[in-house]
Structure 1
Amino acid sequence: MSEAAKRALAEAAERRAAIDAAAQAMPKELNGRGGKEPVRYGDWEVGGIASDF
């Protein structure tokens, strides 16, 4: 694997960790849809299909 690919994977892992940390900091939703927050990546995701706003 090239050095650029290794750097890209490391950067992506850091971004995912930051997103996961932000999700943990969110207050618990009462009577919500359950599961992960559908807008956690900056777009709307339901059932594996993502759409931008």
Structure 2
Amino acid sequence: MERPKNDDLAILKASRRKLSEAAQRALAEADERRRIAKQDSTVAPTEINGRDGLEPARYGDWEVKGIATDF
């Protein structure tokens, strides 16, 4: 048996008791938010004239050639 891609909808369909309309709307809205978040996370703006190497804010490297920099 193949596992469904969206666990929330699979739980909704497999449930023996019916969920209220509000619960169904909440699950649909959550699914839509996840889809939009996944779509938005794949598009990242490119930096123009940025420094080379790893992202300094992420790795805590706030210096260039021994001089501390502030953005």
Could you state the TM-score of these two structures normalised by the residue count of structure 2?
0.37
TM-score normalized by the length of structure 1: 0.47
Q: Give 1 or 2: higher strand fraction.
A: 1
